[in-house]
Structure 1
Amino acid sequence: MIPVRGYEGQNVAVLGLGRSGLATARALEAGGANALCWDDSPEARTRAEGEGLGLHDLSRRDAFDNLATLIASPGIPHLYPAPNRHIARAMAAGVPVDNDIGLFFRSFATPEWDNMETPPKVVAITGSNGKSTTSALIHHILTEAGRPAQLGGNIGRGVLDLDPGSDGGVVVLELSSYQTELARALTPDIAVFTNLSPDHLDRHGGVGGYFAAKRRLFAEGGPDRAIIGVDEPEGVFLAGQMAEGPGDDRVIRVSVDHKLTGPGWQVFARKGYLSEYRKGRQVASIDLRDMSGLPGSHNHQNACAAFAATRALGLGPRQIEAALASFKGLPHRSQLVGEANGVRFVNDSKATNTDSAAAALTAFARVRWIAGGLGKEGGIAALAPHLGHVAKAYLIGHSAREFALALGDTPHEICDTMAIAVARAADEAEPGDTVLLAPAAASFDQYPDFEARGEDFTALVKARLAD
């Protein structure tokens, strides 16, 4: 646990009592604050009381008297599409609003660091797609190299549930736009921006607000090193803002679209080969083509970002290459579930938008594509240029018929359920095919989350392979 510093003897309200909210309340109490907990869900309040935490009804007239701050869980909106009523009252009363990420950055460093040979480092990763894999990959590389490392934030453990920093240790944090937008302190040693594609636009008031939330990770505290994907205009803009000049190697530019040139520090992948250039000269190269845990250009982008981050932490190219080769991937993200008779079954349930689905579709030569669910704004029209590898689509869920209309001449079948889709795709698959779950849609029509959807696909595939 990271005890929260700076609120000793003060009242701090905690709004939202899920995983991060409960961890925040415990960390506040450990740091000497008086945590006053609230959630509009009676079940969540009962759970908090069962852990010995005190409740504080934020709907009371005097609820915001004598509060030092309000700590809100990431999923609770504070501005768009409309502020949560409790957060709106806090802001009207002049009570500062923060989140657990802000508390972490103000509390992680302690006086004990003065006695360490190598003070701990924090690497924070944000972006639209690939941030979970990039975060896990950085953690994997560090662990394989013998460096003490912890993984947290939007993946792994909650930030305030992590252990205090150790000599030479590294904390790797995946941070969503919900987390970066509200945090009052953001001071990583290394910040990583993977890419940007439209998502969560209602929460951020449009794509500009979404990018602004991501940009805060770089603008608020100024990391010692910024690793920035430059395959979108926003990344190019951000890299330009962070660098003092073309040769400023505090900024490492990353690409999978084109070769990067110039006097600075670049890492890019082309045709399956990762290259590192510094001062206009190649200093390292890695063949990614046969690394089963990193299929496709989207995973090559993740590998480039992880390579850059771990190089910035002092690891050598050969150390990193060995760790990349042993990475098995994350569940629900280009996860190889099984293979039989020359047919592969891949679970990419995390591909909930068109950009991530496009990356998955182009990673395999011939695809039996399972798609659908609760479609997002724009449907799958943006996938039209990426359907060349699709032998047939098998459509499920609420948006199956809408998706069918957008597929044009691409063979497709409306299956409605995952069980029917898996059975039909497996029956029709030929050697060399990949049966790919890449929904390009949210899961909430049929499943509580993308993990449950991926687990259903995995269970169905394994049952069939066992027959």
Structure 2
Amino acid sequence: MDIPKILEKKLGRPVAVFGAGVSGNAVAEFLRGNGFSAKIYDRSAAGAARLFGAAEAAEHDLVVFSPGFPREHPWKDAARRAGLLCLCEPDFAALFWQGALPPMKRLAGESREEFLARADARLGLTAVTGTNGKTTLTEFLAFALRRVGRDSLAVGNNGVPMSRMLTHSSSASFRPVCEISSFQAEELRYFSPRCVLWTNFDEDHLDRHGSEENYFRAKFRLVECMMRLRLVVGDFPQEDDPDVRAVLA
């Protein structure tokens, strides 16, 4: 497997993984299975708790954090002060997903637009978000893809870690369907889906986001990170917002 360029100098030392739940353990398992080292930090781990601070930050170059760690978490603050690269699990998985695919060459007579469309279709991930119905739609789409002969797996907020899509299949027809929550979306940088399905929007998770506006902005980050050639399906309550209209244009 090719190492994503942005991570080439970040994997020489153990990767700090924040969270000992299914997401964190899947990241650590993937890293160790590919010859890298990982160290899990969790305040409430089943064994002895392992905490993270300035001293621990000096041992790492990369942090991968689980969705339960909010933007202002003190461990993330310590990592950023130390200059560590901090990635949410969807970003980590997306970087390796793109790096695992062989390079493409432009075909004879193929226009730039046709080449980009072909590249996007191959790399393209389908993401599902919304306040309600995300899991049902994600599982249905993966099921439908399998019924028409495509290899597919529902991953993400449904309880199957994003990192599982990296080891599930090497088939060229494999198309994961990713359920993305606001917790996973709010700090996205590299997870760039081709298609986003937005089921609905209602007030939720105000204890995490502070306001309905912040909650919407966290989820809308998923749309902002989409590929050039894309499909967005959904009803956006803030569609008259100039920033939202500019992204959807």
Taking structure 2 as the reference length, the TM-score comes to 0.79
Distance 1:170 1:42, change over 3 A: closer
Question: Which among 188, 194, 198 is matched to residue 199 of structure 2?
Answer: 194
Structure 1: distance between partners of 2:189 and 2:62: 11
Q: Does 1:71 align with 2:75?
A: no
Q: Does 1:166 align with 2:171?
A: yes
Matched residue type, 1:141: A
* Structure 2 residue aligned with 1:234: 238
Structure 1: distance between partners of 2:220 and 2:178: 16
Larger Rg: 1
1:279-303 CA distance string (max 9 Å, x none): xxxxxxxxxxxxxxxxxxxxxxxxx
1:319-374 CA distance string (max 9 Å, x none): xxxxxxxxxxxxxxxxxxxxxxxxxxxxxxxxxxxxxxxxxxxxxxxxxxxxxxxx
Structure 2: distance between partners of 1:89 and 1:62: 9
Distance 1:41 1:70, change over 3 A: same
Q: How does 1:18-417 map to 2 (within 5 A)?
A: 18-45=21-48, 57-59=51-53, 61-79=54-72, 83=73, 85-110=74-99, 112-114=101-103, 119=122, 121-155=124-158, 157-162=160-165, 163-222=168-227, 224-230=229-235, 232-235=236-239, 237=241, 240-244=245-249
1:434-466 CA distance string (max 9 Å, x none): xxxxxxxxxxxxxxxxxxxxxxxxxxxxxxxxx
Matched residue type, 2:227: G
Structure (1 or 2) with the greater strand fraction: 1
User: 1:10 touches 1:67 (CA, 8 Å); kept in 2?
Assistant: yes
Matched residue type, 1:234: Q
Distance 1:133 1:8, change over 3 A: same
Residues matched between the structures, number: 228
SS in 1 for 2:238: helix
Distance 1:111 1:73, change over 3 A: closer
Structure 1: distance between partners of 2:197 and 2:233: 6
* Structure 1 residue aligned with 2:112: none
User: 2:18 touches 2:41 (CA, 8 Å); kept in 1?
Assistant: yes
User: 1:121 touches 1:171 (CA, 8 Å); kept in 2?
Assistant: no
SS in 1 for 2:190: coil
Structure 2 stretches lacking a partner, 5+ long: 106-117
User: 2:185 touches 2:221 (CA, 8 Å); kept in 1?
Assistant: yes
Matched residue type, 1:197: D
Distance 1:241 1:44, change over 3 A: farther
Distance 1:98 1:111, change over 3 A: closer
Q: Percent identity?
A: 27
CA-CA distance at 1:4 after TM superposition: 7.2
Q: Does 1:16 align with 2:19?
A: yes
CA-CA distance at 1:21 after TM superposition: 0.6
Structure 1: distance between partners of 2:164 and 2:17: 16
Structure 2: distance between partners of 1:42 and 1:210: 28
User: 2:129 touches 2:198 (CA, 8 Å); kept in 1?
Assistant: yes
Distance 1:138 1:111, change over 3 A: closer
The answer to which structure, 1 or 2, has the higher relative contact order (CA under 8 A, 6+ apart) is 2
CA-CA distance at 1:29 after TM superposition: 2.4
Distance 1:165 1:115, change over 3 A: farther
* Structure 1 residue aligned with 2:108: none
Taking structure 1 as the reference length, the TM-score comes to 0.44
User: 1:123 touches 1:171 (CA, 8 Å); kept in 2?
Assistant: yes
Distance 1:45 1:224, change over 3 A: farther
Structure 2: distance between partners of 1:194 and 1:146: 25
User: 2:157 touches 2:180 (CA, 8 Å); kept in 1?
Assistant: yes
Structure 1 stretches lacking a partner, 5+ long: 47-55, 245-467
Structure 2: distance between partners of 1:223 and 1:192: 16
* Structure 2 residue aligned with 1:351: none
SS in 2 for 1:213: helix
RMSD: 2.8
Distance 1:77 1:156, change over 3 A: closer
CA-CA distance at 1:149 after TM superposition: 1.0
SS in 2 for 1:23: helix
User: 2:2 touches 2:100 (CA, 8 Å); kept in 1?
Assistant: no
Structure 1: distance between partners of 2:122 and 2:69: 34
Structure 1: distance between partners of 2:191 and 2:70: 19
SS in 1 for 2:55: coil
User: 2:2 touches 2:99 (CA, 8 Å); kept in 1?
Assistant: no
Structure 2: distance between partners of 1:235 and 1:125: 18
SS in 1 for 2:31: helix
